[in-house]
Structure 1
């Protein structure tokens, strides 16, 4: 039952008190926005689309369009709070978003702020997922694969794109699937689209064969994926000097409001390189996953549903021990289930997006990556560099890398050695040391037959 807007405005007061805003300016802005929104809502009999549009019009002359859209986030969070506390049944913004079949609220606000809101909302509306003649079959297959225990997150994206294309082209409704796929393949001329179409054909062939086993299996075409592989960016291999420079920058990272952050970034970077951890694995590490006595860390339920225990060098464990001491002094939770990398201002663990942003910023500050854009070395290249530099070290110490690759694959959390081979980038140093080893070990074998001849 809707009990808002309340005349005494206690809902706004309780909401603002629960936010814990530190800045006085933030409290002023939040209070101004929420009270102005209730002023408009009180003039309407129902909390609906008209309230949102009238509030936007009331402040369109006082706020710039960008400022207005930014402050709609305050309204979104407040309405979500009212729904969670049972004050209102449903947020009108969420209702419009679901009607349009979109995931974000900002496009809805942008449409409401236009001169013709109804027309803008109609143009914003997306087709309903799996709404074509093939939709039921595809949705049933996705549910079947997930019930079997597969994540199955990528394939539904391909199926929904194909389904959306069919909804926008109703003339293909009665055509055979082969004709539908031909039109879908010709919709774009990019290599990535051609590769996605080939993958979609494999999934659809699997669905049809499951429903009718008499259908002969389809032979896959590897050419589209090979064309996509030609445009892949070659990994950048960080040298030990590059890593040392990034570690120095991480230790002195500017952070006036969070004294622990430089040491947190330093430790993240250390584990990303020395243990080859992915950014998601760094974010999911708990305090209890670090065994200071045994010198190991436990990486739980990562890619391919694997959990692995990684031994670390004494020097890395010493740095981890120093970080945990500093973390405790900073007031972080000592619960074994709390995040290892703790955010001082939010009182919670760093997200994988925050970790990626911070570490990429360190790479930029080390002048290894351009100040802007997606070009240049990537964060994931630290994992490639760990593999290549480890193999170089094995060559220098006289160890045969081929014997150690299965152990390296297990350490990295790969399913098999083939996944690890992708990380081996042939550099000049690696090629030189491999040639030297062949000259010392393999070359004498070529003269063996000549030596045994009488």
Structure 2
């Protein structure tokens, strides 16, 4: 059934009423978009692509192009709801997205608004995933590894890129695997591409060995990965003055429409520096993860599927105490599964991207990062700073940092100390403390000169 439902007006009212809209004016925009499309569907007598193109042309004469695209996405979500309820057979936008294997609705809508929609849609066409001669092998391997409990997201993306390359090069179909990999290596000149090709070779060899156990395993080549590691940007180790400046800016972060944002950002910075948490770990924190009596915080199902409970310093607990007090005054959800950091406007949890955007803005306001671009200190460098400052403190307390590394690795959520060693950046201050420790060990009598060696 492609015709518009007879009770379409009532369906629109019910659909808008059940949406979690945050602004009082949003239902007006939704009603305008859906009512205008309802009139077009009644006039054309269907909800197919022809009706959609007619509506886009008609609305394009009244609204700005960006407005039409925004309202078209509203219509697309509504049509999906009608499909789920069984009121219409299909959503034409969804059908086109599947036909051309497009990544989203925006490109489809933009193509339908052009003078030649067919040509614009053809330009959007993407190869079907895992449709190459090796596609089935790669798909089966990825699904098998995911069934075993691995995320395997990076490997899946690598396989999909190689699959698209093979579909674009049908002349290589009969070539052996090493020849295919060699041609794929030549497609890009970036520093990361040889390392990705090496990962791809190991993935394919693993998949082939599963189907044929007698096949010899491919010896790994670590040279491309080491070359990429040498080109990594050196972490920026924030000084105590930098940290104080960042915290001061976070306290006064300009946010007139969200009064709670400064204390949210201040607390995220405190946790990033005092506990060495990743941004994703901070974004996933809930009220149930904070134990004020024990002075701990729980980090659940993070990288490598690991969970851990971390004791926090007094300053970090004070920041969390102030945040929880602000939550009570804001009268937001007190459920244990509610996000620790919340928006004023809709009481939803801050996502990872939103936290990163605001923290980067603080770095720019502090003058530590340029006004544009990806160069300069990163938020993740706070984790490096946490490690360096912790080792410095151990040196000053007379402790042996090497003996403490397993504890530090556990605190950071690493599988072993090899991952933790990556975070140890040799600074002048750290080098000075190490030299002082070595001098005290070499000359136990203080300033006494070593005895003359008699030959």
TM-score, length of structure 1 as denominator length: 0.93
Deviations 1:50-102 (A, max 9, x none): 22211121122333333332332322332233344443343221221111122
Task: Give the deviation of 1:388 after TM superposition.
Answer: 0.9
Structure 1 match to 2:52: 52
**308-317 vs 225-234, which deviates more?**
225-234
Paired residues for 1:249-260 under 5 Å:
249-260=249-260
Aligned residue pairs, count: 453
Report 1:228-377 matches (<5 A): 228-377=228-377
Aligned equivalents of 1:448, 1:152: Cα separation in 2:
59
Q: Which residue of 1 aligns with 2:226?
A: 226
Asked if the contact 2:5/2:87 (under 8 Å) is kept, the reply is no
- What residue number does 2:39 align with? 39
Aligned to 1:127: 127
SS in 2 for 1:4: coil
Return closer, same or farther for 1:21/1:299 CA change in 2, 3 Å cut-off: closer
Q: 1:355 to 1:97 in 2, by over 3 A?
A: same
- Structure 1: unaligned runs, 5 residues or longer: none
Measured after TM superposition, the shift of residue 442 of structure 1 is 4.0
1:326 Cα deviation after fit: 1.4
**Distance in 1 of aligned mates of 2:24 and 2:317:** 42
Alignment partner, residue 136 of structure 1: 136
Question: Structure 2 stretches of 5 or more lacking a match?
Answer: none
Distance 1:23 1:158, change over 3 A: closer
**Match of 1:333, SS?**
coil
Normalised TM-score (structure 2)? 0.93
> Following superposition of structure 1 onto structure 2, how do residues 76-115 of structure 1 map, counting pairs within 5 Å?
76-115=76-115
Deviations 1:312-360 (A, max 9, x none): 1122212211211210221111111211112222222111111111222
Counterparts of 1:204 and 1:453, CA distance in 2? 64
> 2:395–2:434: 8 Å Cα contact kept in structure 1?
yes
CA contact 2:205–2:218 (8 Å) conserved in 1: yes
Per the alignment, residue 75 of structure 2 pairs with 75
Distance 1:44 1:362 in 2: 53
Cα distance in 2 between the residues matched to 1:245 and 1:6: 62
Query: What CA distance in whole angstroms lies between the structure 2 residues aligned with 1:309 and 1:418?
Result: 21
**Structure 2 SS opposite 1:342:** coil
CA RMSD of aligned residues (A): 2.3
Structure 2 SS opposite 1:310: strand
Name the residue aligned to 1:147: 147
